[in-house]
Amino acid sequence: MLDVGRKRASELGFSGMEWLQGNAECLSSIADNTYDSYTIAFGIRNVTHIDKALKEAYRVLKPGGQFMCLEFSQVQNENLRWLYDQYSFQAIPVMGQLIAGQWKAYQYLVESIRQFPNQEEFAGMIERAGFAFVRHENLTFGVVAIHCGHKL
């Protein structure tokens, strides 16, 4: 995934970024106050201790730095949530089996999404890690959300 991101960034003319792969709960090779921006997409729900990962994100950001997280979230509308749940539990694992031969991996995907904190709960976790001006924006009716916070 990092290789694809690097390639796309290069094709779009972005430069000056450092790409890292590591344990989000323990970024011991990174000094305090190092980065201007910390992004994570569709990964924080797979971290065992989300609070530790958020504290590490805060630690490695410079004052004024921005944390941004794109993650599956909770559909707000009850009727749409019911439809999305039906699709998620009935169709996604089947498609995973048919396309990738991976029923269990796609079942895990659906279950991990449902166990992840909702938008407000996750925003609270970000605030407890020390971030200020925390906000989120729902995309696709809340199927995913972008969360942002700033280190003062």
* Residue 133 to residue 47: CA distance in whole angstroms: 23
The pTM of the full predicted model, rounded to 2 decimals, is: 0.90
What is the side-by-side order of every strand in the sheet holding 132-139? 35-41, 61-72, 144-150, 132-139
Element (H, E) at 105: helix 103-115
Residue 137, helix vs strand vs coil: strand
CA distance to 5, 39, 44, 67, 84, per residue, from 147 (Å): 20, 10, 11, 8, 21
Q: How would you classify the pairing of strands 35-41 and 61-72?
A: parallel
142 sits in the region (left: phi over 0; alpha: psi -120 to 50; else beta) called left
* Residue 50 to residue 45: CA distance in whole angstroms: 7
43, 23 contact by CB (below 8 A): no
pLDDT the model gives residue 122: 98
pLDDT the model gives residue 2: 86
Element (H, E) at 58: helix 50-60
Which residues of the chain are under the pLDDT cut of 70?
A: none
pLDDT the model gives residue 83: 96
Residue-wise pLDDT tens digits, 106-138: 999 999 999 999 999 999 999 999 999 999 999
pLDDT the model gives residue 1: 81
